[in-house]
Amino acid sequence: MRASRGPATCRGHSRLGPGTDFPYNAGGMISGREPIPPMPDPTRELARLERQVIACTRCARLLNYCRKVAIEKRRMYRDREYWGRPLPGFGDPQAQLLILGLAPAAHGGNRTGRMFTGDRSGDFLYRGLYESGFASQPTSVERGDGQRLRDCYITAALRCAPPLNKPLPPELRNCQPYLERELELLRRVRAVLALGRIAFDAYLRVLAERGGFPRRSTFRFAHGATFALPDGLPRLFCSYHPSQQNTQTGRLTRAMFQQVLQDIRSFLEGERVAPPGP
């Protein structure tokens, strides 16, 4: 079943503090306050959110780690200035596809300041996006390299690089309002691609907190799985995370990843997506 168009928003108002109240619910309807305000410009609001994310100080452990990595640096990047701060999302404010990763890599996003940029995971991801028409270039090297996403927006469950790529549950909780806010603002999203189980769980947690959502046990993460969600929510697609651990061992191949992107492309263009499994 094809999911109908509609944004996934969290229940109630934004949890990002004063000045960010956003009284629209999942259907784009007003949730009780009058008079009806004009819909905010998503590009401007995303830029505002970007500034908030970059300035975030909620997770001391992660901020300390990101700064430490940025000071010590990897030998091959010792002449480069590291970003060393939280990373905002990246992409097309009018995107129909939202890609949700785990977190920036210590010497990838945490170095370059852009999601999935400057590391092997990003090389794998952006090549796939380019080959399926969602990216303007097959590589993503650094901010300002000319890369542009088309109809696609990339974000992560956590916006600071965690030590050993292992976030703590309270850190994921701290970062969740930023994802909720992106889901509010990216109003054209019709497909969400979760890269890995942690991203999958983070997305379902946001939806579950809206209330009236099916039990978590209804959804089992598997590479290539897709789920038509209720209430006109975007269709959920799953892929293994393009970590080096997965791509170098063959757990995730280019062909496997391209098939997921092709399924998404077909869905967005109106074709039926084959059910997963044998």
Alpha carbons 152 and 132: distance in angstroms, whole number: 11
Local structure of residue 99 (DSSP, 8 states) = E
List binders of ligand SF4 among 148-207 (CB under 6 A).
158-160, 171, 174-175
**Do the bridges between strand 235-239 and strand 226-227 make them parallel or antiparallel, or are there none, so unpaired?**
antiparallel
* 59 sits near ligand SF4 (criterion: CB under 6 A): yes
Q: Applying CB under 6 A, which of residues 8, 46, 49, 53 lies at the interface with ligand SF4?
A: 53
Phi and psi of 167, rounded to 5°?
-75, 155
When the beta carbons of 3 and 158 are compared against ligand SF4, the nearer one is 158
Alpha carbons 236 and 207: distance in angstroms, whole number: 11
Alpha carbons 134 and 108: distance in angstroms, whole number: 21
* 235 sits near ligand SF4 (criterion: CB under 6 A): no
When the beta carbons of 161 and 273 are compared against ligand SF4, the nearer one is 161
When the beta carbons of 66 and 261 are compared against ligand SF4, the nearer one is 66
Size of the site for ligand SF4 (CB under 6 A): 13
Cβ of residue 23: shortest distance to ligand SF4, in angstroms?
A: 23
In angstroms and rounded to an integer, the radius of gyration of the C-alpha atoms of the chain is 18
* 261 sits near ligand SF4 (criterion: CB under 6 A): no
Number of residues that this document lists for the chain: 278
Cβ of residue 53: shortest distance to ligand SF4, in angstroms?
A: 5
Cβ of residue 190: shortest distance to ligand SF4, in angstroms?
A: 26
Cβ of residue 71: shortest distance to ligand SF4, in angstroms?
A: 17
Cβ of residue 158: shortest distance to ligand SF4, in angstroms?
A: 5
Stretch 101-130: interaction string toward ligand SF4, x if CB under 6 A:
------------------------------
The secondary structure element, H or E, covering residue 152 is strand 152-156
Cβ of residue 4: shortest distance to ligand SF4, in angstroms?
A: 31
* 56 sits near ligand SF4 (criterion: CB under 6 A): yes
- 3-state DSSP of 15-55: CCCCCCCCCECCCCCECCCCCCCCCCCHHHHHHHHHHHHHC
Instruction: Write down the number of H helices and E strands in the chain.
Output: 8, 6
Cβ of residue 52: shortest distance to ligand SF4, in angstroms?
A: 9
Cβ of residue 203: shortest distance to ligand SF4, in angstroms?
A: 16
Stretch 77-106: interaction string toward ligand SF4, x if CB under 6 A:
---------x--------------------
When the beta carbons of 153 and 219 are compared against ligand SF4, the nearer one is 153
| DSSP letter for each residue of 187-250 | TT--EEEEESHHHHHHHHHHHHTTSSPPPGGG----TT-EE--STTPPEEEEE----HHHHHTT
Q: Nearest-CA neighbor of 70 among 118, 34, 35? A: 118
Q: Nearest-CA neighbor of 156 among 99, 227, 222, 92? A: 99
When the beta carbons of 186 and 264 are compared against ligand SF4, the nearer one is 186
Residues at the site binding ligand SF4, with contacts judged by CB under 6 A: 53, 56, 58-59, 62-63, 86, 158-160, 171, 174-175
